[in-house]
Amino acid sequence: MKTRSILFALALSIGLFAASCNSNDENKGDTITPITGKWSIVKVGTNVNGIETLVDPPQNTSGCDHDYLNLKIDNTLTSGDYDSAVSPCALTTVSGTYSRPDSKLTTVINGVTTTYDIVNLTLTDLKLRQGNAISVYIR
């Protein structure tokens, strides 16, 4: 009987401890999924009146790698654009910085600041929205 009482007290203590370790609002909006990495754009589109329409990105030149956004751990970024106007699949890159306040991504490229809502972020998928415009990237 004494063993049951000790086991009951132990189980009750563990239960109360676990209940007291819930998350708080201080970490609200944080995620364990990192945004750093090289993201290739695979779809673009719009969301009008709740209806999402996505298509293959016209900026991706046929036969070339996908245009990309490389977000580095030091909050710098490189944006890559493949274009065949001058030579096949020529890569042009621009550099900038980014920040990720809450569920947004803010980029600064050539002095132009752009803020996107992060609609979805997983280890392999990133969906950004700016107004009605949507961009979908994969890692």
Mean pLDDT of 38-58: 94
Tell how far CA 31 is from the center of its chain.
10
pLDDT value of residue 31: 53
Asked whether 94 and 79 are in contact (CB, 8 A), the reply is yes
Query: pTM of this prediction?
Result: 0.74
Minimum mean pLDDT range among 71-75, 82-86, 88-92: 82-86
Structural domains of the chain in order of their starting residue, each with its CATH number: 33-138 (2.40.128.280)
First to last CA, the chain: 58
pLDDT at 114 over 80: yes
Tell how far CA 136 is from the center of its chain.
10
pLDDT, tens digit (0-9, with 9 covering 90-100), for 120-133: 999 999 999 999 99
pLDDT value of residue 26: 41
pLDDT-derived band at 32 (thresholds 50, 70, 90) equals low
Tell how far CA 103 is from the center of its chain.
9
CA distance 65 to 83: 10
Burial class (CB in 10 A: 0-12, 13-18, 19+), 49: exposed
